């Protein structure tokens, strides 16, 4: 352990497309999944992360390093997270939220989920469908019935064209 030897421990993570990444243990244990492996003593060799590809893992490690370098200051951490996610497109965010879920990193999971939610805020059904490419598989009658059931939620919605 780092504290005992005096030198920082480095872990090697392997993505599902066989890319290897070195990351300081102190940053990597932001992931509860990795922390458990470290605590169980199974983090000695290469840690395979079967559900994360190299591109996403590189991004997650950038986040791990960035956020763990910030001292306990929730506001600074929040502004780091906002900045980190600001230029990510939806495809990347979807990869990140899956990785954060798999790695059990609640702070990243929440930040990405909130970011995706922000896109949907106050937006009409039609707008959200187009934005995310969601196919409407309701029949017109079914859709009308669901809408009727939740009529109260259709007030104050932006960009209303076809709802």
Partner 1 sequence: MDRISDLPKDILQRILYFLSQEDAVRTSVLSKSWRDIWCTRPNLDFSSDNFKGQRKKFISIMDETLQRYYDRRLSVEEFHLSISLGDLFYDFDHESAPFLEKWIPLLTDTGTKKFRLSIRTRWNTGRVRLPPVVFGAESLHDLHVESFSLDQMAIQSIVFLKNLKSLRLEKVCIEDESFNKIISNCIFIETLVVKDCKRLRTIKIIFAHGLCPIEVHPPSLETIDISDGNLRFNKGADFRNLEDLSLCNVKSSLEHLSSCKFPSLKYLNISGWPDLKETQIFIDAPNIRNFDFIEKFVPSISFAATF
Site track for partner 1 across 19-38, x = CB under 8 A: --------------------
Element containing residue 10 per DSSP (H, E)? strand 10-14
Site stretch for partner 1 (CB under 8 A), options 6-14, 30-38, 40-48, 91-99: 91-99
Distances (CA, A) of 49 to 3, 20, 26, 154: 26, 10, 18, 43
CA dihedral 84, 89, 94, 96 (to 10 degrees): -30
> What are the tokens at 24?
């300081």
Binder of partner 1 out of 27, 29, 67, 125 (CB under 8 A): 125
Q: Which C-beta is closer to partner 1: that of 25 or that of 143?
A: 143
Q: Please, what is the minimum distance in Å from the beta carbon of residue 135 to partner 1?
A: 6
Q: How far is the CB of 92 from partner 1 (least distance, A)?
A: 11
Sheet arrangement for strand 20-24: 20-24, 10-14, 46-48
One of 50, 122, 140, 161 touching partner 1 (CB under 8 A):
122
Interacting stretch for partner 1, rule CB under 8 A, among 35-43, 51-59, 73-81, 105-113? 105-113
Give the separation between CA 125 and CA 147, rounded to whole angstroms. Answer: 10
């Amino acid at each position: 352990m780092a504290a005992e030897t005096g030198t920082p421990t480095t872990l090697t993570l392997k993505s599902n497309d066989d890319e290897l990444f070195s990351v300081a243990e102190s940053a990597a244990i932001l992931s509860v999944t990795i922390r458990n492996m470290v605590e169980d003593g199974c983090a000695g060799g290469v840690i395979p992360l079967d559900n994360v590809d190299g591109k996403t893992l590189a991004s997650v490690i950038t986040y791990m390093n960035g956020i763990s370098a910030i001292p306990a200051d929730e506001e600074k951490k929040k502004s780091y997270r906002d900045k980190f996610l600001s230029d990510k497109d939806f495809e990347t965010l979807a990869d990140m939220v899956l990785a954060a879920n798999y790695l059990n990193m609640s702070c990243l999971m929440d930040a990405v989920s909130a970011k995706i939610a922000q896109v949907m805020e106050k937006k009409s059904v039609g707008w959200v469908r187009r934005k995310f490419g969601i196919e409407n598989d309701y029949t017109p009658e079914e859709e009308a019935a669901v809408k009727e059931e939740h009529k109260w939620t259709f007030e104050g919605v932006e960009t209303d064209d076809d709802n």
